[in-house]
Amino acid sequence: MDPSLLNAPEADEMEPKKDVVPVWLIVLMVMLLYWGAVYFDRQGGWFSPQVYAPYRNLEEVRAYQPGGGAGDLFELGRSVYGQTCVACHQANGLGVAGQFPPLADSEWVNEPEPGRLIRIVLAGLQGPMTVKGQQYGAATMTPFAPILSDQQIAAVLTYVRQNADWGNKAPAVTPEQVAAVREKIANRSQPFTAPELLSISPAE
């Protein structure tokens, strides 16, 4: 190594300097901080724990993700339907001719009281039946009691019954109604048949 480097002046030999931080740099910093405050006001959602990117404030979240009350049950039902029912009854609710009956505009779905519907979803359905004048019975509907909660069944039935796109218009189903039926048929291991359902009052 160059010996002259090692004999370099130490701190004590250096001349004291009168340099300071340039004012414009401080001004720049203050301006950037001001920009930061404005930016935060626009983008930061004011510390709300509900505002996530890409949304910037609570109003936007509400506008793009409506929720609350019965609407929630309907939205939950949409996702339950998309995961569990869509494979057979199809996304448009029309089913598959001769195999899976339609839910759209079905007289079963639009019954004022949901007792029979809840039983169908809880315990499943088999054997010949008529929906909108067509005969079905080739396939069996599996029971969903083990995999769906009362909340989810109430939601999916609410979604099906109140789906205006499908021409359905019937009252919502509550988780309490599902729970009551679940208790009544707790011992059942066989799917229902259409005649059996017709013998039960829909309100029960």
Partner 1 sequence: MNAPGSTKATPLHGIASDAIDASCRMPLFVLFGVAALWLAASSVFGLIASIKFHSPTFLSEAGWLTYGRVYPAAKSMFLYGFALPAALGTTLWIFARIGKVGAAQPFFIAAGGALWNLGVLAGVIGIFAGHSTGFENMEMPRYAAVLLFFGFLLIGIWTLVTLHERRDRRLGVTQWFLLAALFWFPWIYSTAQLLLVVWPARGTAQAVIHWWFSANFTVLWCGLAGLGVVFYFIEHVAGRPLHNSPLAVFALWTSLLFVSWTGIPAGAPVPAWIPTLSTIAGVVSVVPLIALAMVLVPTLRATDVPPSAGGEITSHRSAWCRLTSTVPGRLVASGLVAFLVAWVVQLICAIPSVNGFVQFTWFTYALSQLNLYAFLALTLFGAIYLIAPRVAGMDWPWPKVVRLHFWLAVIGIALIVLPLAAGGLLQASKFASKASHPELSFVTVANGTLHFLRISSIGEVLLLLGHVLLAGNLLTLMARCARARLAAAYESAVAEVRTAEVKP
Distance CA 75, CA 124 (A): 23
Tokens of 42: 């626009």
For ligand HEC, what does the binding mask look like between residues 56 and 95, x meaning CB under 6 A? Answer: ----------------------------xx-xxx------
Task: Out of 28, 70, 97, 203, name the contact with partner 1 by CB under 8 A.
Answer: 28
Q: Which does 136 bind (CB under 5 to 8 A by kind): partner 1, ligand HEC, none?
A: ligand HEC
Kindly identify the residues of this chain, within the stretch 119-158, that bind ligand HEC according to CB under 6 A.
120-121, 125-127, 129, 131, 136-137, 139-142, 144, 156
Task: Out of 108, 118, 119, 155, name the contact with ligand HEC by CB under 6 A.
Answer: 108
Nearest one of 95, 190, 101 to 137, comparing CA atoms = 101
Distance CA 89, CA 85 (A): 6
Q: Which is nearer to ligand HEC, 42 or 169 (CB)?
A: 169
**CB of 130 closer than 8 Å to CB of 192:** no
Angle between helices 175-184 and 150-161 (to 10 degrees): 120
